[in-house]
Structure 1
Amino acid sequence: MVRTFAAIDVGSFELELGIYEITDKGNVRSVDQVKHMIALGKDTYNTGKISYRLVEEMCEVLQDFVRIMKEYQVKEYRAYATSAMREARNSQIVLEQLRVRTGIDVKIISNSEQRFISYKAIAAKDAEFQKNIQRGTAIVDVGFGSMQASLFDKDALVSTQNLPLGVLRLRELIAHEKLTQQGAQNLIAELIDNELVTYRKMYLKDREIKNLIAIGEPILSIHYKMAEGRRSEQITIQEFNRFYERLKGMTLAQTEDLFDVNEEYASLLFPTAAIYKRMLEITGAEFMWVPGIRMTDGMAAEYAEDKKLIRFNHSFENDIIVTSRNMAKRYKCYMPHIQNVEEAALKVFDSLKKYHGLGARERLLLQIAANLHSCGKFVTMRGSEECGYNMIMATEIIGLSHVEREIVANIVKYHQQKFRYNEVEVSAKPSKDSRLASTEDLSIVIAKLTAILRLANSMDRGHTGKLKDSRLNVKDGQLVIQTECAADVTLESISIADKGDFFEEIFGIRPVLRQKRRV
């Protein structure tokens, strides 16, 4: 059986439609790509909103996309909007106009979701992706609105950061200045260095980077010209530097001719090359891999994974967990306690499967919250829960939607504070394609996971792992925590009893600690 799927990317600089055929064996094949250049970002970054003229143009293009989708007999589609729509003050009005006039339901995705989708497109090139990330690797995703730099080491994601270095944003910053070509290039280089100097100090340090994976729409045009006449996706640093110097010496008109693009697009190519040039210099990477993937490729891979038509060898959930652990380390959390609470929380969650009605995605969010539950103490020891909430909301965790990040932040906030159902802040409901098992009343989901985290934290109240080897089972209306620990567990027993009221309120089950004395 072959499914025909459509992916629509409402980007900062262009609208793109990708038509894909996906087989039951997990083969994803691109059938057609249609692009229309439209500078949404130019409006957003200059005025803060999208003009009605561009809304009209978008509607016309999307109506054309609908016609193409019908020709291909597309049954399912996904349409995502990124930074330009995210930052526009009138985004909700625009999306409603698109839905009413074209029938296309466009979803605004967070930056972390956007980058995560791109990683899935790279991971679909399984053999090459796995080979590259075994050694120190930086994935540099330069888009029109921003840039994401992610560091891998031995198959694990160790950090990911978003920087305001999108090429359209850079161009708009200098658009109103009367500069010579050399002056514009110098100013762009200065703006790039200004952002990267802090990134280098905080995240690169002494980390060894061997490979740089370059993704994002702007690099595709540059790579196409560089690799003209050969199929290799690998570029040596020497090749890139030679091409960079050639591009640097070109006028805008010459760039238009070389790449066969209009003036608007040609003006973005030097900023693109300049960002990659500087990233190669500060990382010391030896090779550059341009896998040639687009946002729509990632959307097709995500859809295939959700429908269980494809399985990646790389564990993306592990990336999310490792990122949260690295965040805990950065905020000087006591990691032995963090590990004990994480293990205890998962034990409690798994023992209550018949009672909480939650799924694998909620289990992952609980795991992240356990890793970050004490991060607010980095700022203050009193009122740390509020600080923890704000720190999590200010930090993008790769692979989590904005709603999921709010769930984690609220769990951390209320694991010590009195839980008030009416005061739980979640800005929106999950979308229809959310992986959450329960999407109706998120305050109840947060309450359930908060109760579990409170109990897990109590199980390591002394921060010494006394109950590390405990066994849990539900019996006669009680969650029995059985331990053979020979040490004094009075502190843990008092804490479990203290947290038992809220736990019982949520699940109708009372947690009790039973210490089995060894003879």
Structure 2
Amino acid sequence: MANNIQGFVMIGAQAIVFSITNLRTLKTIERGRYPVAIGDDFYAEHEILPDTVDAIVQAFDAINQIFKDYGVPTVNVFASTSWAEADNAEFVRDQLYTRTGWLIKTTSLSEEAFFRTQAIMVKFPQFKSITQKGTVLIDISSGSVELTTFSNGVFGFSRNLSLGPLRVYEIMSDVQRSVTNYVEVMRDYIDSRLLDFMRLLPQGVEYTNMILMGSNLSIFQNIIPEGKHQVETDRPGFDLLYDEVTKASDQYLADTYDLTSDQTSLVLPTVLLVYRLVETLNSQSIWISDLKAIDGIEVNAAHEGGFKKLGFDPNEEIVISANNLAERYQVDEAHMQATRTVALQLFDRLKKLHGMGKRERLLLEVAATVSDIGSYIETHKHYAHSNYIIKASEIMGLNDLEVTMVATITRFHSSITPQSDLKNFPTMSTENRLVVAKLSALLRVADSLDASRQQKIQQLRVSVKPNEVLLTARADDDIELERWTLARKGKFFSEVFGLGLELKGRNIL
């Protein structure tokens, strides 16, 4: 097992944050930040400039010395999603590896959302009590805003908007010089970008509580009392802050809230964005937390490394996110549930045959959930539509490679059989292509067993024979259509696993 004392580094748009954490207790031993305005390059130049690369190297060297002083054996380095917006991001990533030996992992939007919810669920003291009512978690980074909802203590919905204060500031900077009603124009711009989010929110839920967190909350974090990690305010108190900010000069804000010039320029778009969300959602109680994505990364590392039990299943968020996507595209829920149940049953019963683990099982569960979303566009070749919809969607907690794998599994779950040559799969490692092939084969079989869309099979027994896998079904109706479909779609299973398939069944009535 890995050492429980580990170092973490997160590259954001305005700073590089690091921590040293005991993963058994989730106690922070050391934490700090190095201001590096990488986001100025992202949004203004669309690339990371050489001087900025040098600044990152200097920060890495200083952080690495701290890690060495503490004897930290394991270092995990992440970059926020905005990093990938730079045209030369991969070149810089390689340069940094060559110069420092640290390999950077770029997080996806859905991964960052996943980390933030884990941070809140584990480290926010009032989480269980306040999320019994409708609660929206708003994470504000320089380039984007992630909105995540909870109700009855359970994760409900997540959506990312390219509406971070630095991005808004860069877009609106020309407007500021040419109009007198700058605040109104910025408010209209923000409102226009919030429309899609509001339209997709679950109906019938009032979001009376709001939790604010993120790397771009300098003005809010400076009002958190010393020694505390969060503070609560009410709607009138926030209204007063909004009035103050919209009427104050930059010098007043810098002096009053102890802000740098870079932070001061982002105060107005930050406060205006939050204010419009508070008004739109009619939130009454607002919590301001200093938790950040790096806190969630620590929680995830503790869970994945087996150091700490979290008291909840993190994968549940991923499955709920997939269910939300399926619901949005109006899949046949009964067929989806039947297919998913059988797919997971096949995975569990055939574990010695396929040799895959828990993460692959989760990918199969997600793929079975969203495999038919393409039917929303067109039933004919729906698998092709499912493929590109999934690639363009956010599934909480999956990285970009895993989203591509899920999309490919759904692409090949239909009767259009890929050749056994793995070159027919998208570009990825041979190991990942094999995983996709195996999971596609299992999903094909599961989908075949509800070919009639009537959920005829009530029980299924799976037996591995020397030359075949025998499926024995108990059904409440004739299953000849399922048998015929399996004969066609099951050929790929035989190609992948080297065993034939046979379906036997008897009527239970």
Secondary structure in 2 aligned to 1:16?
Answer: strand
Equivalent residue of 1:288, what SS?
A: strand
Corresponding letter in the other structure for 2:13: S
- The answer to whether the 8 A contact 2:6-2:22 is kept is yes
The code of the aligned residue for 1:75 comes to P
Q: Structure 1 residue 326: deviation in Å?
A: 1.7
Letter in 1 for 2:497: F
Alignment partner, residue 424 of structure 2: 423
Q: How far off its partner does 1:314 sit? A: 2.8
Q: Is 1:478 aligned to residue 476 of structure 2? A: no
Task: Name the CA distance, whole Å, in 1 between partners of 2:225 and 2:219.
Answer: 10
- TM-superposed deviation, 1:223: 3.8
Distance in 2 between residues matched to 1:57 and 1:247, nearest whole Å: 32
| Cα distance change on mapping 1:284 and 1:227 into 2, 3 Å | farther
Task: Give the structure 1 partner of residue 409 of structure 2.
Answer: 411
Deviation at 1:390, TM superposition (A): 0.6
Aligned length, in residue pairs: 505
Cα 1:6–1:183 shift into 2, 3 Å: farther
> Which of residues 488, 491, 501 in structure 2 aligns to 1:498?
488
The percent identity for this pair of structures is: 26
Equivalent of residue 317 in structure 1, options 315, 321, 332 = 315
**Paired residue type of 1:8:** V
Match of 1:5 in 2: 6
Mapping of residues 62-461 of structure 1, within 5 Å: 62-125=60-123, 128-179=126-177, 183-203=181-201, 205-219=203-217, 221-225=219-223, 233-416=231-414, 417-420=416-419, 421-426=422-427, 441-461=431-451
The answer on whether the counterparts of 1:4 and 1:72 sit within 8 Å (CA) in structure 2 is no
User: What residue number does 1:53 align with?
Assistant: 51
Shift of 1:237: 1.6
Q: Is the 8 A contact 1:220 1:292 kept in 2?
A: no
Q: C-alpha offsets along residues 362-414 of structure 1, whole Å, 9 cap, x if unaligned?
A: 11111111111111111112222211111000001110000000000000111
Report the CA distance between 1:19 and its aligned residue.
Answer: 2.1
What is residue 435 of structure 1 aligned with on the other side? none
Q: Is the 8 A contact 1:146 1:162 kept in 2?
A: yes
Is the 1:146–1:166 Cα contact (8 Å) retained in structure 2? Answer: yes
Aligned to 1:16: 17
Q: 1:114 to 1:263 in 2, by over 3 A?
A: same
- Give the match's secondary structure for 2:27: strand
- 1:71-93, CA deviations, whole angstroms, 9 ceiling, x for partnerless residues? 11111111111133111110111
Shift of 1:184: 3.1
Task: Return the letter of the residue paired with 2:467.
Answer: G
TM-score (normalizing by structure 2): 0.94
Change (3 A) 1:34 1:117: same
Q: 1:314 to 1:233 in 2, by over 3 A?
A: farther
* In structure 2, distance between residues paired with 1:341 and 1:143: 39
Shift of 1:97: 1.2
Q: Which residue of 2 aligns with 1:468?
A: 458
Quote how far apart the aligned CAs of 1:224 are: 3.1
Distance 1:358 1:229 in 2: 46
Amino acid at match of 1:188: M
Indicate how the Cα distance of structure 1 residues 425 and 452 shifts in structure 2: closer, same or farther if over 3 A, else same: same
Q: Once structures 1 and 2 are overlaid, which stretch shifts more, 240-249 or 120-129?
A: 120-129
Distance 1:203 1:95 in 2: 37
Deviations 1:90-109 (A, max 9, x none): 01111111111122211111
Alignment check: 8 A CA contact 2:458 2:474 kept: no
**Aligned residues of 2:340 and 2:446 also touching (Cα < 8 A):** yes
Shift of 1:470: 2.0
What is the SS of the residue equivalent to 2:222? helix
Change (3 A) 1:293 1:181: farther
Distance 2:44 2:268 in 1: 21
SS of 1:50's equivalent? Answer: coil
Give the Cα separation in 1 of the matches to 2:14 and 2:508.
69
The answer to whether the 8 A contact 2:417-2:492 is kept is no
Instruction: Name the structure 1 match of 2:26.
Output: 28
Q: Deviations over 1:149-179 (max 9, x none)?
A: 1122223322211101111101111223453
Secondary structure class of the residue paired with 1:208: coil
Distance 1:410 1:34, change over 3 A: same
CA positional deviation for 1:296: 2.1
Deviation at 1:34, TM superposition (A): 2.0
The 8 Å contact of residues 222 and 269 in structure 1, kept in 2 or not, is answered as no
Tell me, yes or no, if the aligned pair for 1:123 and 1:129 is still in contact at 8 Å: yes
Structure 1 length as normaliser, TM-score?
A: 0.92
Which amino acid is 1:120 matched to?
A: Q
Q: Deviations over 1:245-279 (max 9, x none)?
A: 12222111111111212111111122111111111
Change (3 A) 1:296 1:126: closer
Q: Is the 1:146–1:165 contact (alpha carbons within 8 Å) kept by the matching residues of 2? A: yes
Q: Which residues of structure 2 form unaligned runs of 5+?
A: none
- Kept in 1, the 8 Å contact 2:229–2:291? The answer is no
1:231–1:503 distance in 2 versus 1, CA, 3 Å: closer
Shift of 1:358: 0.5
The alpha-carbon deviation at position 190 of structure 1 amounts to 1.7
SS at 2:138's partner residue? strand
Distance 1:425 1:79 in 2: 27
Distance 2:247 2:227 in 1: 23
What is the CA–CA distance in structure 2 between the aligned matches of 1:182 and 1:143, rounded to whole Å? 27
